[in-house]
Amino acid sequence: MNYSFFDFLTLVGALGMFLYGMKIMSEGLQKAAGDRMQGILSSMTNNRFAGVFTGILITALIQSSSATTVMVVSFVNAGLLTLTQSIAVIMGANVGTTVTAWIISLFGFTVKIVDMVFPILAISIPLIFSKNNQRRYWGEFLVGFSLLFLGMDYMKTSVPDLQQNPAVLEVLNNYTNMGYGSVLLFMLIGTILTIVMQSSSAMMAITLIMCSQGWVSFEIAAAMVLGENIGTTITANMAALSANVSAKRAAFAHLLFNVFGVCWMLIFFYPFTRMIIALVGQINGMSAEEVSALLNSSAALLSPEEAAKAATTVSFSLALFHSVFNVCNVLIMIWFIKFYEKIVSSVIKQKSNNDEEFQLKYINTGMMGASELNLPQARQEIVVYAERVRRMFAMVQDLLHEKEGSEAYSKLYSRIEKYEQICDRMEIEIASFLNNVVSGRLSYDGKLQVNSMLTMVTEIESIGDCCYNLARTLVRKQEAGVKFNEDIMVNLEALMALDSDALEGLITVLSKGEDADIIAAYNKENEINNFRNQLRSANMDNINTKRYDYQESIYYMDMVAEAESLGDYIVNVVDAVKQQSRHKSKI
């Protein structure tokens, strides 16, 4: 065969350009949509039909079912979607991904889109260098669109011409004439290649080229499309490996949905493909025999006009097969969402949750595909972090009243120490996750949001340090043989009650971010400061009047200063939430 290693590298490079173009195009749209994508998901998944429509819409927009399913799994992981909602959206994503096949079919084979690539790039350049973020994101989308079809064109011209090498084609034909055996074999090949490339759209493009070049028949190409439907589920399942139980269930439901769909299709495979051929014939005003002849014709034996017509018919037929199959699958399976939920819940069981073992609840490094869509996970994890610190502070309050020197006192202090270590690790893990998100293709407003979240994480860790310092002060007091009198205990209880209320308000602010809650948090900080000033002013008078001695006042004032610092850190977190809300409103 006259096919050099250079030709092979050109083919691989063309595939890489196709995949990169799709990635840039998808990410450009995701950044342009920003938090609106999250709004669509949360507001349009109230019932199964709305969820399916949402999945179709988002996948059609971002041109990647893998990106949609990873996004859905990450939202389930972050508690923003229920398992039932996620299954409906994933079903819709399977239909939405067929839009890619239609774009490739209509533009890649019907229109000479490659002639428009450089004019489109010329339009995109000023957009990319624009100071307006939205224009810049749309410029990225156009660049991705251009690279996608440029790669598609190079793939078509770089594949080896097997028609000129009958011996090679004959070897291939040995595996295409085994009836259902060939269907199963090429379905497996389609699955494996989709897993390797992590893109069903790229595999769909390759399948279209193989069929249009006459390498495989329409039935074999359709079998590969079925395999691609299974292969595309691997991305979400890999992403969910380190996620929580709900995310694992959502990813597994995606796999089950596609596998069950392929199973019923294999039973009706040949009647279904004949129906598609007849449908194509009716649409194009041809008989089923004419369509079948075009689908299985050899490109090398046709005139240029006939070859172009055959390629268009092949691409149209495969796109139609892909769409009709997925639509039928959704229409059948949408009534069994509760059934899917029961299966995945019984297979993937909920593990017991030990709060005193280090673990992140929402974020995980397995789902870093779409940077903009990782932010909800981080927000939820920060709420969990704050709740953990609040529990730590409650232990300090208990330690204040625990009998000194008792076994319970020692155990409680050991728990506080363990929580301090967990808080330190949580800060590192969340901050590392956010830094990885920033290193991806994140919008400008998204980066500002990450900066605000990094501030929150740092300040929450400082709150944990304050809790630990309060506990250490109590232990040092006990070791020094100092006891607080009743007045000191009453004052410390009142000050720590204000801190506890401030922590409760902080969690409300982190969860909702509403203006009223933010104002309430500022007011609580003023109360803490005013009470701290009162206690400091009264301290020297109390020492002079012998209400308590100087050594007692040292530990007392250390506790007061630490409790007031804790309030300051809470306000710093509230300030960061306020900044983040401002950045979100701009997207």
DSSP string covering 178-235, please?
Answer: STHHHHHHHHHHHHHHHHHHT-HHHHHHHHHHHHHTTSS-HHHHHHHHHHHHHHTHHH
Model confidence over 141-152: pLDDT tens digits? 888 878 877 876
Residue 286 exposed, middle or buried by CB count within 10 Å (0-12, 13-18, 19+)? middle
Q: Which of 100, 107, 121, 110 is nearest to 26 (CA)?
A: 100
Q: Which of 344, 319, 194 is nearest to 255 (CA)?
A: 344
Task: Give residue 314's pLDDT.
Answer: 77
Q: Which of 389, 416, 319, 331 is nearest to 566 (CA)?
A: 389
Residue 45 φ/ψ, nearest 5 degrees: -120, 30
Q: How far apart are CA 531 and CA 535, in angstroms?
A: 6
DSSP string covering 235-257, please?
Answer: HHHHHTTTS-HHHHHHHHHHHHH
Model confidence over 68-120: pLDDT tens digits? 776 677 667 656 677 777 888 888 887 877 776 676 666 655 555 567 788 88
Task: Give residue 458's pLDDT.
Answer: 94
Domain ranges of the chain: 5-347, 371-586
DSSP string covering 369-399, please?
Answer: SSGGGGHHHHHHHHHHHHHHHHHHHHHHHHH
Model confidence over 256-293: pLDDT tens digits? 888 998 998 988 888 998 888 888 888 877 777 777 77
What does each of the 587 residues of the chain score in pLDDT, given as a tens digit? 566 778 778 878 887 887 787 777 767 766 766 656 556 555 555 667 777 877 777 777 665 666 677 667 766 765 667 777 788 888 888 787 777 667 666 665 555 556 778 888 888 888 888 888 778 888 888 888 788 778 767 776 676 654 555 444 455 566 667 777 888 888 888 888 887 776 677 777 778 777 777 777 788 888 888 888 888 787 677 766 666 677 788 888 888 888 998 998 988 888 998 888 888 888 877 777 777 777 766 555 556 666 667 777 777 888 888 888 888 988 888 888 888 888 988 888 876 555 445 566 777 654 445 566 677 778 888 998 999 999 999 999 999 988 888 889 999 999 999 999 888 888 988 888 888 887 766 777 778 888 999 999 999 999 999 999 999 999 999 888 888 988 899 999 999 999 999 999 999 999 887 778 889 999 999 999 999 999 999 988 888 888 888 888 999 999 999 999 999 999 999 999 888 776 555 54
Q: Enter the pTM of the model.
A: 0.59
Contact 266, 311 (CB under 8 A): no
SS3 label, residue 132 = coil
Residue 241 CA, chain-centre distance (Å), reads 13
Which tokens belong to 532?
Answer: 């701290």
DSSP secondary-structure letter at 352?
P
**CA triplet 496, 499, 503: central angle to 5 degrees?**
140
Which tokens belong to 174?
Answer: 């040995």
Task: Give residue 397's pLDDT.
Answer: 93
Q: In the chain, what are the helix, strand and coil shares in percent, each to the nearest 5?
A: 85, 0, 15
Model confidence over 477-526: pLDDT tens digits? 988 888 898 889 999 999 999 999 999 999 999 988 777 888 999 999 99
CA dist 339 to 203, 335, 343, Å?
31, 9, 6
Kindly report the CATH number that applies to the domain delimited by 371-586: 1.20.58.220
DSSP string covering 287-301, please?
Answer: -HHHHHHHHT--GGG
